[in-house]
Chain A
């Protein structure tokens, strides 16, 4: 607050001018609007749980059924390795972060187009739309974690020390989902083709990620390189933190994924910032 102008309660000065190409996001502004982010997440969660007949049960049922199918197909009939834990637990621990990512691909990609009024009728930090959609998925993740705890208890698995790092991997997951969907949501404003390719992309991405299987099925030299898919590092890192499963090249895989995520995230923020000023004119 400027001392020389006591007449003003709020000496906020907004300068509106054609945007510069490369500018850092206005962190102060995001902070000021933080309550809105909370409300957007709260709304998404509330509506999802309100609109469906069995409400929150979906959040548990979907990964549970998927885990059952993968366990039977890949574990039982395929006889694939699972790294020392029951196949079902390994798959479920992978599906938990995966569903956050998959939901982000679906909802976050559409977020700008879906909330047109928030873009064309009012000013809110647009970054919050894809971000809010990703964070709403984190609530599902937390609910689903309860089941993982139960599953581990059932099989008598004691979590290793590195479970303390699980929140860090959750953050890594959010960063990856946000990094990818910033690009997709912004591109979707201009090219609606994007949202139609998402279902296929999600499916292909699922099989490219060690969710239904373990990286142990790959030859040694490949296990680190799979980290080029950022979700591989997220999934295997999360598994390592809660189950202690080690694949031999985990550090390489996770660091590689982390690098890719950072590139996607920083690039995504910049791209989003560049195109967001024309959102209202295009959407």
Chain B
């Protein structure tokens, strides 16, 4: 698998819907009415602020045989992502490269016509899904048998019950044989028995080394069928990995690590070491939070975003010298980044603090980290020698947002460094 290039490489896909663009249509008069407004804005009809990013920097790679589940709340961008990958709608930015034949199944029975018979619809629908006529003919009997509507094959579909229509439609879709299958929520159709049959079929499909991207609200199906899952939140990829963990995070059972703000008891649980050296505590920490540029708590970041870490604490008795240490650790506890409140200029030396409450904040600049899952460790140190260490307070998920890919694996640090290329000598092309 490793030597083979990934079958899907998505890099920084963003999709903006202009507000109003999703309205059914515009009448000419609306356009004419909009002209004066556009003129007032200096001729620019489009404005970045008018837009809604349905997808915001989605990058991932998919290898052959992987079954990827896409989960997230309504409006998180799952269906939009699937539509971009199926080429139904174009991304605003970014790109995706797909190797192999793609079959997308966003709806069962697309193009079914009520006047046509079951047989005719099988051919029509198959062609719409991208099957060759010969391919449909070859699998026709299988399709019909799976659907269980043999007796009504030459009856117009309008005389079918809705259940029969769905069964026939799904059967056609289930016999699609692309290398990459994109499926949206189609398992939520038909009666319970048929649903079981569909799930079984999906399992078959995945066992045959087909690559599948699967959008579902059926979390049990995601756990069951997928080898990997991506969790989307407001157009952003917030988790990519084990399906169980993705589902846990989605339903909010992800535990403390998924949470970006810790206080009280949950913060207390993260204490790794506390040294008081015999005296009463000089201070206590009340809250540690990871925030985005807008000050909102989050633990998932794109590498082009600033990561802000805020530490709240209460000083009980005067502390002559106080400092805070922040360490980000990667796998095997290796320290990837460390910053201490005294690292900077001399003026920032150890603080002498009077009793009161304080908040210290540090920002890890954008454009420094690569693709990294890092643990945040915080130490508060008061001279003389009172220390509290917090370990793995928050797990940070950083996604590289630059142009390069991850074909050679991921790196913790991936700053955007200036590259320069010069010609040393030129050889004429033969």
Residues of chain A whose beta carbon lies under 8 Å from any beta carbon of chain B: 7-19, 33, 35-36, 38-39, 43, 46-47, 50-51, 113, 115, 117-124, 189-193, 277-278, 280-283
Contact = CB atoms under 8 A, between A and B. Distances in A.
B115 A277 contact: no
- If over half of B's interface residues share one DSSP class (helix, strand or loop), that class is named, otherwise mixed; here it is loop
Contact of A12 (B24, B91, B100): B100
B28 interface: yes
B100 A122 contact: no
B129 interface: yes
Contact of A8 (B92, B94, B100, B129): B100
B83 interface: yes
Which of B4, B111, B129, B133: most chain A CB closer than 10 A? B111
Nearest to B14: A18
A226 B97 CA distance: 50
Nearest to A276: B90
Contacts of B94: 17
Nearest to A115: B111
10 contacts: A8-B179, A10-B101, A16-B87, A17-B96, A18-B93, A122-B88, A122-B110, A123-B88, A123-B104, A189-B25
- If over half of A's interface residues share one DSSP class (helix, strand or loop), that class is named, otherwise mixed; here it is mixed
Interface string B121-147: 001100111101100000000000000
Which of A13, A118, A281, A282: most chain B CB closer than 10 A? A281
Contact of B129 (A7, A16, A47, A122): A122
B102 A14 contact: yes
A282 B106 contact: no
B110 A43 contact: no
A14 B4 CA distance: 17
B182 to A, nearest CB: 10
Contacts of B128: 36, 39, 118, 122, 124
B244 interface: no
Which of A16, A18, A19, A46: most chain B CB closer than 10 A? A16
Contacts of A51: 115
Given A190-B25, A191-B26, A13 B90 contact: no
Interface string B33-54: 0000000000000000000000
Contact of B86 (A12, A18, A113, A122): A122
A17 B88 contact: no
B21 interface: yes
A7 B104 contact: no
B405 interface: no
Contacts of B31: 191
A43 B95 contact: no
Query: Closest 10 interchain pairs by CB?
Result: A17-B95, A121-B107, A39-B127, A277-B90, A16-B96, A280-B89, A14-B98, A123-B87, A36-B127, A193-B28
Given A14-B98, A17-B90, A191-B28, 19 more contacts: A7-B4, A9-B179, A11-B99, A16-B90, A17-B95, A18-B90, A18-B92, A39-B123, A39-B124, A43-B116, A46-B115, A46-B120, A47-B113, A113-B25, A117-B110, A122-B107, A123-B86, A123-B88, A283-B24
Contacts of B394: none
A192 B21 CA distance: 14
Nearest to A192: B25
A38 B136 CA distance: 15
A190 to B, nearest CB: 6
B208 to A, nearest CB: 13
A100 B90 CA distance: 34
A7 B95 CA distance: 25
A33 B101 CA distance: 13
A183 to B, nearest CB: 15
Contact of A19 (B90, B98, B101): B90
Nearest to B30: A191
A283 B88 CA distance: 12
B358 interface: no
B95 A16 contact: yes
A81 B289 CA distance: 91
B120 A35 contact: no
B27 interface: yes
B94 to A, nearest CB: 7
Contact of A16 (B24, B98, B99): B98
B127 A15 contact: no
A26 B22 CA distance: 27
B89 A277 contact: yes
Contacts of A36: 127-128, 130
B92 to A, nearest CB: 6
A192 B113 CA distance: 24
Contacts of A35: 127, 132-133
Which of A19, A39, A122: most chain B CB closer than 10 A? A122
A123 B110 CA distance: 11
A44 to B, nearest CB: 10
A175 to B, nearest CB: 25
A206 B80 CA distance: 44
A15 B28 CA distance: 35
A117 B100 contact: no
B84 interface: yes
B99 A13 contact: yes
Given A10-B179, A18-B91, A47-B116, A118 B28 contact: no
A43 B113 contact: yes
A154 to B, nearest CB: 36
A191 B27 contact: yes
A15 B95 contact: yes
B110 A193 contact: no
B71 interface: no
A123 to B, nearest CB: 4
Which of B17, B28, B88, B100: most chain A CB closer than 10 A? B88
Contacts of B24: 283
B85 interface: yes
A280 B88 contact: yes
Contacts of B102: 14, 123
B69 to A, nearest CB: 20
A51 to B, nearest CB: 6
A8 B63 CA distance: 13
